[in-house]
Structure 1
Amino acid sequence: MTTHATAGPDIYAEFKQDVNMTASELKKWLQTDESKSVGQDSGDGTSIGHHSGERIIEILGKKKADLTAEDEEHMHKVHSYISRHRAQGPHDKKDVETSRWRYSLMNWGHDPLKSH
C-alpha cells in the first residue's frame, strides 16, 4: 500500500536534521566491514541498522511530495533511534572515531563526527 504521508513537516525536518550523511556516503559506508560488524541481527544475517540504512537511501532519493506513509513511519523510527543512541554516547570517549557506537549511528545515516 502506497499512500502519501499526511503528517506535517515536523518528522521530515527532524529526519533531514538527523540524517547528516548523503545517500552516496551512506551507500559507500554500508559496503564496509565496519558497517556490517555492528547491530542486532534482523534474522537474515544483516543487522536491523543495515536494513534501515538501505531504506534511508531510498527515502533520500525521493521528493518530499512522493513520500509514503511507510516512508514517514521509517523516518520516525530513524529519528527515535538516532535521538536515543546519541544520548547514550560511546562507552570509550577517546576512541569515538572507531567506536561501535559511531558505526551503529552511521548505519542509521548519522555520523556524530560530521558537522552538519
Structure 2
Amino acid sequence: MADALETEALWAEFHHVVNMTSTELAAWLSVREAEEHTEPLPDETGSATGRHVLAILQKRRTDLTDDDVRVMFEVVDTVGDLVDGTDGPEPERSPQATRRRHRLMTLGHDPLKP
C-alpha cells in the first residue's frame, strides 16, 4: 500500500474528483442499470468500479485497502483524462457530451456540478 502521505494526498484528490455524494452515486447507478420492468439488486447496480467508488465513499481513510487505493488512482486518472480530453466546450445536449457525462457519473464525477 502507498505510504501515509501519498494515501492522504490521494484521498484528498479522490474526494475532489468524485464530486457526487454516496447517495447521488447510488441513485445514479440504480437508474443507470434499471430496465423498463426490472431493477437490479442494490449490490449489483452499476459497474464494478462504480460500486467500488461507492464503497470507498462510505469508508474512513484509515480503513482503505490496497484495492481501494488502486481504484482511487484509477478513478483520478480516468476522470482527469476524460475531463482534460475535451476539445473545448461541446453543446451540453450533444451525444458525445451525454455519453462522456454518463461515463464520468458512473465514476462519481458529475461535470455539470459546480
Q: What is the TM-score with the length of structure 2 in the denominator? A: 0.75
Q: Distance in 2 between matches of 1:106 and 1:55?
A: 13
Does the alignment pair 1:87 with 2:84? Answer: yes
- Hey, what's the Cα distance between the residues in 2 that align with 1:90 and 1:56? 27
Give, in whole Å, the separation in 2 of the partners of 1:77 and 1:27: 19
Does the 8 A contact of 1:89 with 1:101 survive in 2?
no
Give the aligned partner of residue 70 of structure 1: 67
Q: Alignment partner of 1:95: what SS?
A: coil
Q: Provide the aligned C-alpha RMSD in A.
A: 2.7
Give the CA deviation at 1:87: 0.9
Residue in 2 aligned with 1:58? 55
How far apart in 1 are the matches of 2:65 and 2:102?
28
Matched-pair identity in %? 34
**CA, structure 1 residues 104+83, in 2 after alignment: closer, same or farther (shift >3 Å)?**
same
Q: Please list every run of at least 4 consecutive aligned residues from structure 1 whose deviation after the TM superposition is greater than 4 angstroms.
A: none
Q: For structure 1, which runs of at least 5 residues remain unmatched after alignment?
A: 37-45
Contact 1:5/1:68 (CA < 8 Å) preserved in 2? no
Relative to the length of structure 1, the TM-score reads: 0.74
Give, as a single letter, the amino acid of the residue that structure 2 aligns with 1:111. D
Compared CA separation, residues 70 and 18, structure 1 to 2 (3 A):
same
For structure 2, which runs of at least 5 residues remain unmatched after alignment? 35-43
AA partner of residue 61 (structure 1): Q
CA distance in 1 between partners of 2:87 and 2:21 (Å): 23
Flag the structure with larger Rg. Answer: 2
Q: Is the 8 A contact 1:15 1:75 kept in 2?
A: yes
